[in-house]
Amino acid sequence: MSIQIGLLQRALSNAPVVAHDVGARLRIPEPKAYSGARDAKKVENFLFDMEQYFLAANVEDEARKVSTATMNLTGDAKLWWRTKYSEIQANQVRLDIWALLQEAIRVQFFPENVEYNARWALRKLEHTSSMQDYVKAFSALMLDIRDMSEKDKLFTFMEGLKSWARVELQRQRLTDLGSAMTVAERLTDFASETWRNRQTMPSPVQNKAGGAKSFRSNSNRGGGDRKPTLSLVRRAVQAGASPRRTDRGRRRGVLGVSYAMARIDIGIARRSS
């Protein structure tokens, strides 16, 4: 029995260890092909997807990166690569590493003046609607600008904000664009909230007894305060009424003018009769 146990232990010690790597069993999706569209975002998305694929598939060899990326070119991009491949075979160009291929794709398919146009649009961009819309538009333009410093990014973002939002971000002493965007998206749109509060805030009304002010809602109501018409004042004058006075003894503006005009009209009518 002891001999059998010894043989079994020796066999187990010599057996190869099998690693159960969960990541090895995961299926890595293939990157989307690029057809050669002259669109800055499509070019950058393709290059970014290839970078992510190389990381997930653990591709480190430069030659394999180049061959994998070029196999995902279609349409005009494939025709361009066939021309470049002929030049490589003739030792006219060198595109044997991934960094050189990326730069060649950008030079060939990036639209002209894309960065200049993005900088111009960024200069004109302002926070006029919601904060989320402003952050989204700013982020989209920044994708076409590759060499702006972090300080310039933050300054440009802050300058486009409404004044209340800019003051709040300056108070927090933020130092990078990412933090500024995160904080900005959490801010409530102060301007719209203030407008809503003004719409619902009651307005003060002087008490008849001259005491403390009461409050009346700003909402429109049927039969609300109306200015006295001249015909109504004439009837009141004929009935012997007099205009109300304020605490200083002065006649109210509209009622006082109407009262005077009514007295003149009645006097003229009596003389003519």
Written as six digits, the tokens of 146 are 């590759």
Q: What's the CA gap between 252 and 33, in Å, rounded?
A: 80
State the pLDDT at residue 5: 56
Q: What's the CA gap between 8 and 186, in Å, rounded?
A: 65
Please provide the average confidence, as pLDDT, over all residues in the chain. Answer: 76
Which sign does the torsion angle of CA 95, 100, 104, 105 carry?
positive
Amino acid at 17: V
State the pLDDT at residue 113: 85
Q: What's the CA gap between 177 and 161, in Å, rounded?
A: 13
Within 10 A of 265 (CB to CB), how many other CB atoms are there?
14
Written as six digits, the tokens of 34 are 């690029």
Average pLDDT value for residue range 122-130: 92
Q: What's the CA gap between 128 and 134, in Å, rounded?
A: 8
Percent of the chain with pLDDT over 70: 59
Give the residue, 70 or 245, on which the prediction is more confident. 70
Give the residue, 227 or 175, on which the prediction is more confident. 175
Written as six digits, the tokens of 62 are 């430069």
Q: What's the CA gap between 190 and 19, in Å, rounded?
A: 57
The contacts of residue 44 (CB under 8 Å, 6+ apart) are 143
DSSP tally for the chain: helices H, then strands E:
14, 2
On the question of pLDDT at 49 being above 50, the answer is yes
Q: How many CA atoms lie within 13 A of 141 on its CB side?
A: 21
Q: What's the CA gap between 33 and 53, in Å, rounded?
A: 12
State the pLDDT at residue 19: 42
On the question of pLDDT at 221 being above 90, the answer is no
Pairing relation of β-strands 203-205 and 214-216? Answer: antiparallel
State the pLDDT at residue 227: 47
Burial code (b: 16+ CB inside 10 Å, e: under 16) for 35-60 equals ebeeebeebbebbebbeebbeeeeee
Lowest-confidence segment of 80-94, 154-168, 210-224 by average pLDDT: 210-224
The contacts of residue 78 (CB under 8 Å, 6+ apart) are 36
